[in-house]
Amino acid sequence: MAVDSSKTVAKQAQKSYLAKDFVSFRQDLIKYAKTFFPDKIQDFSEASLGGLLMEMAAYVGDTMSFYLDYQFNELNPITAIEPQNIVSHAKNAGVPITGAAPSVVKLTFYIAVPAQLKDNGDYVPQDIALPIIKKDTQVKSNTGIVFTLVEDCDFTEKDDYGNLKVTYTTSEVDTSNNPTTFIVVKEATLISGKILVQTFSIPNILKPFRKITLSNQDVSQIIRVKDSQKHIYYEVESLAEDNIFKAVKNLDDDKQLVTSNLEVVPAPYRYIKSTDFRTRITTLQFGSGDASAPDDDIIPDLSVLALPLYGTKTMPRFSIDPNALLRTSTLGIAPVNTTLEVTYRYGGGSQHNVAPESIKTINSLNIMFPENPSSSIQDSVIRSLDVLNATAAAGGAAPLNLEALKSLIQSSRNQQARIVTQQDLLARIYTLPTEFGRVFRAGIHHNLDNPLSSNLYVISRDIAENLTISPDALKINISKYLNEFRLVSDAVDILDATVINYGINFSIVCSPDSNKSTVVQNVINAIREVSDIKYFQIDQPIIESDVINAVINTEGVLSLVELQFKNYSGTVGVNKFSDYDFDLETNKFKGMIVGPEGCIFEMKYPASVIMGTAQ
């Protein structure tokens, strides 16, 4: 009978890689030794030397397994525990590391201004006495927290009709009971923290990616960086960004809707800001370029080196110094032989969330009178200036702790600085800062004539919150804004969405014990609610069932006899509608009214366009 050795071989080949801890490593090692070396040693009890040697080996395995697990956990921001690794993950994901956050407060400025009589017989505050309280004006709470005005508080601002935008109340009257003095009130936003100007002397040595460190913790904003040659350095997210967005005051007719035009400004002088998680000290890092030499002098013209083939078919080898490429202005210009002046705001924390009515002191006042009134009027207005915060300051918070930092990493990774999908495009449009105009709704369609192009439909709202065509300044701003994030091959045509105004006529049967007029009014209110523009997007159809549901679920309604959707266009009575004609009833399809591409349905003047009868 032959001996089958295959089973023995298979048994020998068995190895386990499941051991993770000391006990399992020890068991595996003893099992291994007993299997393969029974003729060499047999005693592996705890008290024996053989057992001791096994335990030493198991200890090494356990230690290595621990560190393997540990390092593996450190690769994942959710399971990492080492502070420096969590900070590295956060930096890689683009989470900004900041110190304590400052608080923001709405502060009301009060001034007493002499009255003047207008041509129409109304008394208003005297124009020439109205000041502009300039930004950087500082006030102080009773707990000693300093707040700084972030934008000019302009008392002279007027609307399109020439009326003052500020509110005012009569303070003093003459013997004829006519106002002689008004209390003029305007609200402004202030942010906590102290402002400091720090200077840095930069030697005459080109040091690529030079860093300077600010001396205070919790820097919340770098207000300005300029050198002694008056170059302004702009903050960028990465040094590869060579331009920035800048708000320029809009002086056109649509300035009420779009206060600023967006400009894309080249930023050869730029820096990135980073804050040390542990020390909360902020460092600025500048570029590597040499401003004294144009890029052409730094980078050799490769065509000269590689293609000197005029009249010859040979060329010599040539060398390029890769370090020379770092001296180009591609990553920004390095400051050399100058003095940098850094103005920044620092300080923050929950103690900056001061209580209501706790800010009453003006620390430093920066005020101007555009109409240049007499000094007595100026002094009088300045003496009358008072401030008070009706609400508590909010937003001040302690620096992020490690757990908070970890929680931000995942969401930050999902963000991206480019537009790829339609959702990216919409998200980017809706995050356009308000001062550049506000898009109420945006919708996207593929352009059937150009596969690389999309049609972007936008619509805004006027002051009465009715839909209105977006102003040109807004569309230009969107164009400039999107251009910085779109893929090179993508094109977006920005078009006005079509507004289709509509109304609803209905007829219902009411229950005998109900008041018919009350029921009809309740039905109108219900239709008004479901037709509110906040529920509508561009290209969203009207769902007939939603309206039917609202009607028949109104108390007192027994049945819905008739429901009709009616288009309103042009001017009807005193109401002005969109000029677009659209037959809603003939475009009803499977219970939905579907409009043309890029349209949005709006029930404008609901008090006039919802009509109902009751039986």
Partner 1 sequence: MSNARTYSFKSVGETLEEYGQTRRTDVTAKPPLGIKTPIQLDYDFGQLFEMHYNAADMIKDNFKNLILTNHGERVEMYDFGANLQELVMELGSENADKEAMKRILKAVNKYMPFIILSDFEAFSNPRDGGGPAIRGVRVTYSIPVAKMGTQAMEVILYMGG
> At closest approach, how far in Å is the CB of 63 from partner 1?
9
Q: Which is nearer to partner 1, 58 or 405 (CB)?
A: 58
Here the tokens at position 547 are 């309206």
Instruction: Write b or e for each residue in 56-68: b if 16 or more Cβ atoms lie within 10 A of its Cβ, otherwise e.
Output: eebeebbeebeee
Q: Which is nearer to partner 1, 58 or 202 (CB)?
A: 58
AA letter at 292? S
Among 47, 205, 488, 574, binds partner 1 (CB under 8 A): 47
Among 19, 50, 254, 351, binds partner 1 (CB under 8 A): 50
Options 43-51, 248-256, 278-286, 297-305: segment touching partner 1 (CB under 8 A): 43-51
Helices (DSSP H) in 502-605: which residue ranges? 516-530, 544-552
Q: Which is nearer to partner 1, 64 or 173 (CB)?
A: 64
Among 30, 41, 392, 402, binds partner 1 (CB under 8 A): 41
**Residue 132 CB neighbour total at 10 angstroms:** 16
Among 8, 35, 48, 613, binds partner 1 (CB under 8 A): 48
Among 45, 421, 517, 553, binds partner 1 (CB under 8 A): 45
> At closest approach, how far in Å is the CB of 50 from partner 1?
5
User: Cβ distance 285 to 210 under 8 Å?
Assistant: yes
**Residue 233 CB neighbour total at 10 angstroms:** 24
Among 7, 15, 40, 313, binds partner 1 (CB under 8 A): 40
How far is 134 from 93, CA to CA, in rounded Å?
A: 38
3-state helix/strand/coil string of 225-239? EECCCCCEEEECCCC
Among 38, 162, 512, 573, binds partner 1 (CB under 8 A): 38
> At closest approach, how far in Å is the CB of 43 from partner 1?
4
Among 7, 18, 46, 317, binds partner 1 (CB under 8 A): 46
CA pseudo-torsion sign 473, 423, 440, 457: positive
Q: Is 218 helix (H, G, I), strand (E, B) or coil?
A: coil
Options 3-11, 296-304, 460-468, 508-516: segment touching partner 1 (CB under 8 A): 3-11
- Strands 338-346, 281-286: pairing is unpaired
Q: Check residue 253 and report its DSSP letter.
A: G
Options 2-10, 135-143, 371-379, 462-470: segment touching partner 1 (CB under 8 A): 2-10
Q: Which is nearer to partner 1, 5 or 204 (CB)?
A: 5
User: Taking the mean position of all CA atoms in its chain, how far away is CA 493?
Assistant: 24
Q: Which is nearer to partner 1, 59 or 535 (CB)?
A: 59
Among 8, 12, 52, 613, binds partner 1 (CB under 8 A): 52
**Residue 169 CB neighbour total at 10 angstroms:** 10
Q: Which is nearer to partner 1, 60 or 248 (CB)?
A: 60
Cβ neighbors of 179 (< 8 A, separation 6 or more) are 115, 123, 170, 171, 172, 173
Write out the binding residues for partner 1, residues 6-35 only, by CB under 8 A.
22
> At closest approach, how far in Å is the CB of 425 from partner 1?
59
Binding to partner 1 by residue 394, rule CB under 8 A?
no
Helices (DSSP H) in 368-453: which residue ranges? 375-384, 402-414, 422-430
Options 52-60, 284-292, 389-397, 491-499: segment touching partner 1 (CB under 8 A): 52-60
Cβ neighbors of 68 (< 8 A, separation 6 or more) are none
Helices 422-430 & 472-483, crossing angle to 10 degrees?
120
Q: Which is nearer to partner 1, 48 or 142 (CB)?
A: 48
Here the tokens at position 381 are 């207005």
Helices (DSSP H) in 278-374: which residue ranges? 295-298, 302-306, 322-326
Q: Check residue 434 and report its DSSP letter.
A: G
> At closest approach, how far in Å is the CB of 22 from partner 1?
5
Counting Cα atoms < 13 Å in the Cβ hemisphere of 516 gives 10
Q: Which is nearer to partner 1, 56 or 320 (CB)?
A: 56
> At closest approach, how far in Å is the CB of 35 from partner 1?
14
- Size of residue set near partner 1 by CB under 8 A: 25
Binding to partner 1 by residue 2, rule CB under 8 A?
yes
Write out the binding residues for partner 1, residues 56-115 only, by CB under 8 A.
56, 58-59, 62
User: Cβ distance 509 to 519 under 8 Å?
Assistant: no
Q: Is 91 helix (H, G, I), strand (E, B) or coil?
A: helix
> At closest approach, how far in Å is the CB of 67 from partner 1?
16
Options 8-16, 54-62, 176-184, 257-265: segment touching partner 1 (CB under 8 A): 54-62
Q: Return residues touching partner 1 (CB under 8 A).
A: 1-5, 22, 38-43, 45-50, 52-53, 55-56, 58-59, 62
